[in-house]
A and B are shown apart, each in its own frame.
Chain A
Amino acid sequence: MKKLLIVDDEPNIVMSLEYAFQKQGYQVYIARDGSEALVIMEKEVPDLIILDIMMPQVDGYETIQIIKQNPAFAKAKIIFLSAKSKASDIDKGLALGADLYFTKPFSVKKLIGAVEALLNH
């Protein structure tokens, strides 16, 4: 079972994603921001991380940088899921090493498709 970590401070969005991905057969972990995510990753390195950017405490940019610096996390794919939708935001997210960048509002179906594609290439 593939492990998926959802990092977002919006409980309603997290709830929808958790339900949808569990239905697809993923093991879903949830973190409310970067620091919680890193705590979880110390125990379980997920196959893929869905990462929000604007979060309290440690935001998405900081989180991806920490992940990318740690070779132990190298296998984790990262998808940014953010309301920041300017081209410069997207470029910045990809430059930091994210595999994909999804802007909110988003299609749950397309996000699932993208996750599938990344993990089963």
Chain B
Amino acid sequence: MANYVIILVIVGYLVCLFGLGIWADKRSDSRWVHNPWVYGLSLAVYCSAWTYYGSVGIAATDGVSFLTTYLGPVIAFPLWIIIVKRVVLVSKQYQVSSIADFISLRYGNNRSIGALVTIICVVAVFPYIALQLKAVSETFDILSTSPKSTFLFTDSTFYIAILLAVFAALFGTQTTDASRRRSGLVFTVAIESVLKLVFFLVIGIYATFYLFDGTSDIFNRMTALEGFETLATFENMEASINWYFMIALSFFAIFLLPRQFHTSVVENTASSHLKKASWLFPLYLLLFNVFVIFIAWAGKLLLSQDLNPDYYTLYLPLHEGHQLLGLMVFIGGLSSVISMVVVSALSLSTMISNNLIIPYGFLKVLNQHDPSSNAQRIKNIRRIAIFILILGAYFFYVNFNIELSLFSIGLIAFVIIAQLAPAFFIGLFWNRGSAVAAKVGILVGTIITFYTLALPFITDVFIDGSTFTTAGPFQIALLKPYALFGLDFMPPVTHAFFWSMVFNLLFYLVFSVTRKGNYRERNYAELVVNASRYGQLQENAFVWRGEAFKSEIEKVLVRFLGERNTKRALDLFYRKYDLDPNQEKVDARLVNFSEKILTGSIGAASAKLMISSVVKEQPVTLPEVLKILEENKKTISANKELQQKSYDLKRLTENLKVANDALVEKDRQKDEFLDTVAHELKTPTASIRAASEVLAESEDMPPQLKQKFLHNIVNDADRLTVLITNILDLEKLSSGREVMNKGNYNLKQTIEKAVNGIFQIARKKGVHISTPNLLEITLHYDEDRILQVLTNILSNSLKFVPENTGSIQIDTTKVKNQVHIAIADNGKGIPEEDVPYIFDKFYQSNNQNLKKPVGSGMGLAISRHIIAHHKGRLYVDTTHNQGAKFIIELNT
């Protein structure tokens, strides 16, 4: 195929993409552009030329290990949802525009961490971009029949690189706020994802079913080939470990690669989109890998062995003379290159501008210039960065003829990027992780990666006869770069990944535990780790103390956002918090708000620098931080709490009313009680007084009558004494002040004592008291008190049973863990209407015998209190229809 045809197709394809991008940008809210499918497909920016061409290469030479890169993300995806959700929550709130911004934010808007992460990303991704361009260039040459040009201005790849840079600059840098979404870009990435997958599947089907008779045909023919076993299986333990680490590595990559962070976090428009992505992306990866092995085998079987297996995908159709199919494969590869290069370059340019150039040096320049040109300046920085990155990568590729395959350069990039993993992942869940620890961990990990991966490569290539890799530096075997500390069974990449991670993690943890971050760091750590808790707090969440003036903050904002945007933002702020806009002195909320809106434009670290230049900040101690956070949490729930409070108040009022009613009732009862007590005391007193008076006035009274009066006086005096004793007793029992003097007693003996106590009176009245079958059981009670109860009930019965024929029976039965003492008589019983009242104080039945009996009317009330003090029950058995029957329940 002639050069110009291919170039025309490329230009045509790019024009289509431009058109689509512009269309999508204009309709960013339409259903076609803003939907979860586009988001899910844009994640497939993960599949670069490395996937499109490199997987086949690795499958052809190394066998199934190519799968790790795709299995990692597939396995990790459930976790991906959880982590990305949290990262998105924080990122949207703080206008995070890149992974460098995010990590810098987590560690207190730390400027140097942002810069460090940026450098790591550039170092890792730059050669990666170069490789993408290499792939384009090489596939172009394979496809082209024109002679290869070595001259810059006739090399088509150079122009492709320029077009890509223009594309990235056009769609990526329209606004200064880098955290804003770029619908056009994302949409084209999604379209490219579809194209590359479809084209790859087409060539897969073509290879498997057109060139061969299906999968089993290829397999059967492959088995005939020498060394097939090693390609289809794991050889040994080492290979399995390798496989395991590779999966872990690619797992990190889907979070940490700048282009992945960009598509999954920065360009995320709705957290609901994550759900669709959770199955769409793994499915995409699986589909992409279905035919890899068959294309590789087909290439091995059909093509000459000196062809680069990386490009079997392209060689196969060309070999069969299917030029158009070859062109289609090329376009698919180009698609994967475009999306990778554009998104990576854009993401890196944002990092370079926001985390490197602006905070280190350029901030002063921006500060001195007028607002309208500042926005332009920031955009220009990014555009220049994009061009430098892409064209730089092109020159890197042209000038350093990279020996390594696509696959291995990709892996090295992964290992370098993986150095961010401890700071990123642990920092998300552990608020102790500190900035110093993150920096040290990343640096140590990177140095080890360099030592075990890049350095031996460089020495091998540039120093002839170097023994660095074979014998170690200064002949120290333990420091051999491919077998550090004697670990010699891993391939270089796994080995480097293993040791760098071990040291990175170790340093991160040790420094975090031993070196506490400052208040600002701890504050942001808390905000990220507990993002869901502070999700609603917004400006309020940040702990800050100091002095700030509105006019000065406004000046800073105007410098970067312009007069109109600043005014709009501040209006919104003041309306949101219902504050007085004329108040010159402002609080943490405005400081925070300003930092946030600046973050999108100039990065978190720079925003912090800018704002803190106009405010006098004072350190806040940890207790204060905690207190303020606590208060903030309170304000968020203020509404809820207020509601709860008013409800509580209402309930309290109700409770008070009930309590008050109860008190009034108690008071009334007390009055009534005192009345009754007074009445009961006065009656015998009156009786004594009248009798004494009569006696005193009647000297002529017959001695017999005199005796009777004197006897009455003694009786009434006794009555008074009993009454007073009972009143005091009842008072003590009912107020709970009386302590039972409990011990272990034999119940049978106690009952017999009670019976003996009233035996004389009973015999006098001719009443028979029987106690058949009393249980021999020991219970825990106050014997005197139980005797009092028994005597009380027995005396009552004695009062009501008929003379001579009266009988009283006491029974004890064991019911579960209780003993029931039943005292039944054959008296006239308790009238039904009296039953509810007989245990009330001073209650005396109207149905008593002829003469009013001696009694206070408090006996049963006292008895019931005593039994209650034993956690038992005293009641009348109403089912008993002959006479009265009292039951005492005591616990065993």
A residues at B contact (CB < 8 Å): 9-13, 15-17, 19-20, 23, 54, 56-57, 83-86, 103-109
Interface pair A13/B686, CB less than 8 Å apart:
yes
Q: List 25 A-B contacts (CB under 8 A).
A: A10-B686, A11-B852, A12-B712, A12-B716, A13-B686, A13-B690, A15-B691, A19-B705, A54-B679, A56-B846, A56-B848, A83-B678, A83-B679, A83-B683, A83-B686, A84-B679, A85-B678, A85-B682, A104-B685, A105-B685, A105-B688, A108-B690, A108-B693, A109-B693, A109-B697
Of chain A, the residue at the smallest CB distance from B719 is A12
A/B pair count, beta carbons within 8 Å: 74
Report Cα–Cα, A4/B693, bound state, in Å: 20
Select one of B686, B697, B705, B708 contacting A105, CB under 8 A: B686
Q: Number of contacting residues on B, CB 8 A?
A: 28
* A116 → B minimal CB distance (Å): 15
Chain A residues near B430: list those with CB within 8 A: none
- List the 4 shortest-distance A-B pairs measured between CB atoms, nearest first: A104-B686, A83-B682, A16-B690, A105-B686
B463 within 8 A of A: no
B11 within 8 A of A: no
Interface pair A19/B694, CB less than 8 Å apart:
yes
Chain A residues near B698: list those with CB within 8 A: 19, 23
Interface pair B852/A16, CB less than 8 Å apart:
no
Chain A residues near B687: list those with CB within 8 A: 10, 12-13, 16
Interface pair B709/A15, CB less than 8 Å apart:
yes
Q: Other CB < 8 Å A-B pairs besides A16-B709, A104-B682, 7 of them?
A: A12-B716, A16-B691, A20-B690, A56-B846, A85-B682, A107-B689, A107-B693
Given A54-B679, A57-B846, A15 and B712 touching (CB < 8 A)?
Answer: yes
Of chain A, the residue at the smallest CB distance from B693 is A108
B residues at A contact (CB < 8 Å): 675, 678-679, 682-691, 693-694, 697-698, 701, 705, 708-709, 712, 715-716, 846, 848, 851-852
Chain B residues near A104: list those with CB within 8 A: 682-683, 685-686
Chain A residues near B708: list those with CB within 8 A: 15
Given A83-B678, A105-B682, A20 and B715 touching (CB < 8 A)?
Answer: no
* A90 → B minimal CB distance (Å): 14
Interface pair A106/B709, CB less than 8 Å apart:
no
* B717 → A minimal CB distance (Å): 11
Chain B residues near A20: list those with CB within 8 A: 690, 693-694, 697
Report Cα–Cα, A23/B693, bound state, in Å: 14
Report Cα–Cα, A83/B688, bound state, in Å: 13
Chain A residues near B709: list those with CB within 8 A: 15-16
* B355 → A minimal CB distance (Å): 92
Of chain A, the residue at the smallest CB distance from B851 is A11
Chain A residues near B701: list those with CB within 8 A: 19
Find the residue from B682, B683, B688, B848 having the highest chain A CB count within 10 A: B683
Select one of A9, A12, A56, A108 contacting B697, CB under 8 A: A108
* A12 → B minimal CB distance (Å): 4
* A108 → B minimal CB distance (Å): 4
Select one of A16, A56, A57 contacting B694, CB under 8 A: A16
Select one of B686, B694, B697 contacting A106, CB under 8 A: B686
Report Cα–Cα, A39/B688, bound state, in Å: 29
Report Cα–Cα, A9/B686, bound state, in Å: 13
* B651 → A minimal CB distance (Å): 39
Report Cα–Cα, A23/B683, bound state, in Å: 23
Interface pair B693/A16, CB less than 8 Å apart:
yes
Of chain B, the residue at the smallest CB distance from A107 is B693
Chain A residues near B705: list those with CB within 8 A: 19
* A105 → B minimal CB distance (Å): 4
Report Cα–Cα, A57/B688, bound state, in Å: 25
Find the residue from A16, A23, A106 having the highest chain B CB count within 10 A: A16
Of chain A, the residue at the smallest CB distance from B700 is A23
Report Cα–Cα, A104/B679, bound state, in Å: 9
Interface pair A105/B679, CB less than 8 Å apart:
no
Given A15-B712, A23-B698, A10 and B851 touching (CB < 8 A)?
Answer: no
Of chain A, the residue at the smallest CB distance from B848 is A56
Given A19-B694, A54-B679, A105 and B689 touching (CB < 8 A)?
Answer: yes
Chain B residues near A12: list those with CB within 8 A: 684, 687, 690-691, 712, 715-716
Report Cα–Cα, A27/B372, bound state, in Å: 127
Of chain B, the residue at the smallest CB distance from A17 is B690
* B695 → A minimal CB distance (Å): 9
* A63 → B minimal CB distance (Å): 15
Chain B residues near A23: list those with CB within 8 A: 698
Interface pair A10/B693, CB less than 8 Å apart:
no
Chain A residues near B684: list those with CB within 8 A: 12
Chain A residues near B852: list those with CB within 8 A: 9-11
* A60 → B minimal CB distance (Å): 13
Chain B residues near A15: list those with CB within 8 A: 691, 708-709, 712
Of chain A, the residue at the smallest CB distance from B689 is A105
Chain B residues near A10: list those with CB within 8 A: 683, 686-687, 852
* A26 → B minimal CB distance (Å): 14
Chain B residues near A11: list those with CB within 8 A: 851-852
Interface pair A106/B689, CB less than 8 Å apart:
yes
Report Cα–Cα, A83/B690, bound state, in Å: 13
Of chain B, the residue at the smallest CB distance from A20 is B694
Report Cα–Cα, A68/B442, bound state, in Å: 111
Chain A residues near B678: list those with CB within 8 A: 83, 85
Report Cα–Cα, A16/B848, bound state, in Å: 23
Report Cα–Cα, A41/B364, bound state, in Å: 121
Chain B residues near A57: list those with CB within 8 A: 846
Of chain B, the residue at the smallest CB distance from A108 is B693
Chain A residues near B716: list those with CB within 8 A: 12
Chain A residues near B846: list those with CB within 8 A: 56-57
Of chain B, the residue at the smallest CB distance from A54 is B679
